Structure 1
Amino acid sequence: MPTPPRLALETSLYADDLAAAEQFYGDVLGLDVMLRTEGNHITFRCGPGVVHVFDPAASRDRTSLPAHGAEGPVHVAFGVPTDQLAAWRRHFNRHDVAVEDTTQWGDGQRSLYVRDPAGNSVELVSSTLWSTTARAERLRRVRPVLDLDTAESRPVEQFQNETLRPILKLLNPTILRLVAERLARYGVGFAAMDRVDQRDRLRNLMKEDGRLKRTLLGMVVGHLTQDELDAYLAHKDEVRRRTVPMLLARAQDQIDDIVERVRTQAEGA
């Protein structure tokens, strides 16, 4: 059978008043709106997943996708650090949102319950309550999925394509920022160079700047699971030889972004 699902990617709630729902989930809970379809639904980002709030009448009458809906209030729980629950209670009080109940679970874990404007039960609960997500699973969950056939690859090539490439894609904004910061500090005049010289400067930076290489490699290692770390240590020299050119290629492919970051840092200095 295929790999079992690892993540409940979408959670759907229902509310007749989408504007009131947006105010609660956006302004009170602080979730970012990703998508808004007038009269139909609002989508909020929540960690690696999303929360949809649908107008129940519109979602039942839809024809382009399977119809769905619910009668009466439903329940949703958001994981938060336990030590933040008292602050959430004060936050709800400031927004005139009544705390309906609190519950003490085992090992110091707790829940706090409120109602959204549609009457749905909204729980804020210690994020470790179910202990459903081990570190390895959390690390894999946030990585981009790359559709690469590695069945015939050697072990190091498998590691490169199945592990390194997704991690580097995940870390892309951080990689670009660190490279740009290093160039802004030591690459005098980088933004004003022509493209050939910029590429040469990037190549020299990745080859000669030991501190930058150690920082970037350290970030990658920090995103490895225990099994992946074992594989890395077994082939450390070869993995490093492969990783640095991959970092350089990623930076050179996005050189316009790096130039803009360097220019912005120079202007703000």
Structure 2
Amino acid sequence: MTETQTSQLLALRPQILTGQTQTPIEEFQNKSLRPILKLQNDLLIKAFRQYIEKHKSRFDKLNTSEKNDFVIRALRQDHQFRHFLRGVVVGHFTDEEWLFFELNENEVNKRTMKLVEQRLLSQLEVLSLNG
């Protein structure tokens, strides 16, 4: 990836104010993962709506607790869907971020999926197929 490509990729990301970070993984989460997820929020919503439709779920009929459970179950048990969502994030990494990812893959994957889960759970009303 050229320096220009890296600059263009980083310019797409929204700025997110964060507190002081203490570890490299926290810094990566705040400077890379969170901005990428914010940038890709609409795609995450569309992907989850497609997931609901594909699985013929009656998501709209579920109460809030059941919707929470549905989201969590989908993200934790459907490995194909998890891999897709990780790809939505990893595809926006710079070369430098990729190197960090290679060295910290398990922790980055855990944090990525936890952030995706939090993001989706905070937008349950938007996940509705009628929404």
Q: Which TM-score bucket, shorter chain as reference?
A: over 0.9
Q: Choose from 10, 14, 19 the match for 1:149.
A: 19
Give the secondary structure class of the aligned counterpart of 1:147. coil
Report whether the alignment pairs 1:251 with 2:98.
no
Paired position in structure 2 for 1:179: 48
Q: 1:200 to 1:187 in 2, by over 3 A?
A: farther
Paired position in structure 2 for 1:204: 73
Report whether the alignment pairs 1:263 with 2:130.
yes
Superposed structure 1 runs of 4+ greater than 2 Å apart: none
Q: State the one-letter code of the partner of 2:116.
A: L
Paired position in structure 1 for 2:5: 135
Paired position in structure 2 for 1:15: none
Paired position in structure 2 for 1:193: 62
Paired position in structure 1 for 2:37: 168
d(CA) in 2 for partners of 1:187, 1:201: 12
Q: State the one-letter code of the partner of 2:48.
A: V
Shift of 1:187: 4.8
d(CA) in 1 for partners of 2:130, 2:81: 19
d(CA) in 1 for partners of 2:58, 2:19: 42
Q: State the one-letter code of the partner of 2:26.
A: E
Q: 1:233 to 1:225 in 2, by over 3 A?
A: same
Q: How many residues align?
A: 129
Unaligned stretches of 5+ residues in structure 2: none
Give the secondary structure class of the aligned counterpart of 1:145. coil
Point out the structure with the larger strand share. 1
* 1:179/1:212 contact within 8 Å kept: no
Which structure ranks higher in relative contact order (CA pairs < 8 Å, sequence separation ≥ 6)? 2
TM norm structure 2: 0.93
Give the secondary structure class of the aligned counterpart of 2:118. helix
d(CA) in 1 for partners of 2:11, 2:57: 39
d(CA) in 1 for partners of 2:92, 2:22: 22
d(CA) in 2 for partners of 1:218, 1:164: 12
d(CA) in 1 for partners of 2:55, 2:46: 14
TM norm structure 1: 0.46
| Cα distance per residue 1:35-63 (max 9 Å; x no partner) | xxxxxxxxxxxxxxxxxxxxxxxxxxxxx
- Give percent identity, aligned residues only: 26
d(CA) in 2 for partners of 1:149, 1:203: 27
